[in-house]
Amino acid sequence: MGSPADPHGSRPYNPAGPAMTKKKAHDSARAHPWRQFFSMKASLMILALFLPFLGCGGGGGGGSSSSSPPTVYSNQIDVQLLSGQLNIPTVSVTLCVPGTSDCQTINNILIDTGSVGLRIAHNLVTIPLPAVTDGASDVYECYTFATSDNFGPVVSADVSLGGEPTVTVDVQISNHTLTSPSSTCTPSSIQSSGINGILGVGYPFSQDDGGDYYACPSSGCTSGTGKLSCSGTIINPASPCHVANPVFSFPSDNNGVLLALKSISTNGAASPVYGVLTFGIGTQSDNSLSGLTTYTVSSTNSCGSSNSYIDASFTGGSTGSCGFLDSGSNGFFFGTTTFPLCGKNNTWYCPSPSPATISLTLTGGSGATGSFSLNVLSENTIVSSNNIAWNDLAGPYGSTTTFDAGLPFFFGRTVAVGYNTGGQTAFWAF
State residue 192's pLDDT score: 77
Whole-angstrom distance, CA of residue 138 vs CA of residue 155: 9
Using one digit for the tens of pLDDT, what is the confidence trace for 228-255? 887 554 555 567 788 989 999 999 999 9
Q: For 191-200, 294-303, 316-325, which range has the lowest pLDDT when averaged over its residues?
A: 294-303
Are domains 27-249 and 284-429 of this chain identical in fold?
yes
State residue 44's pLDDT score: 25
Residues 6+ apart with CB under 8 A from 407: 87, 88, 89, 261, 326, 327, 328, 329, 330, 331
Instruction: Report the pLDDT averaged over residues 76-80.
Output: 97
Instruction: Report the pLDDT averaged over residues 176-202.
Output: 92
Whole-angstrom distance, CA of residue 296 vs CA of residue 390: 27
State residue 319's pLDDT score: 87
Using one digit for the tens of pLDDT, what is the confidence trace for 354-384? 999 999 999 998 889 999 999 999 999 999 9
Domain ranges of the chain: 27-249, 284-429
Whole-angstrom distance, CA of residue 128 vs CA of residue 108: 21
Whole-angstrom distance, CA of residue 165 vs CA of residue 171: 17
Whole-angstrom distance, CA of residue 319 vs CA of residue 314: 9
Contact by Cβ (8 Å): 333, 395: yes
Instruction: Report the pLDDT averaged over residues 300-309.
Output: 69
Instruction: Report the pLDDT averaged over residues 298-310.
Output: 71
The yes-or-no verdict on residue 67 having pLDDT over 80 is no
State residue 304's pLDDT score: 64
Whole-angstrom distance, CA of residue 410 vs CA of residue 8: 40
CATH of span 284-429:
2.40.70
On average, the pLDDT of the chain sits at 82
- % of the chain with per-residue pLDDT over 90: 61
- How far does Cα 214 stand from its chain's mean position? 23
CB atoms within 10 A of CB 44: 35
CATH of span 27-249:
2.40.70.10
| Prediction pTM value | 0.85
State residue 49's pLDDT score: 26
State residue 172's pLDDT score: 96
**Cα end-to-end span (Å), the chain:** 35
Dihedral of the alpha carbons of 314, 412, 40, 312, in degrees to the nearest 10:
-20
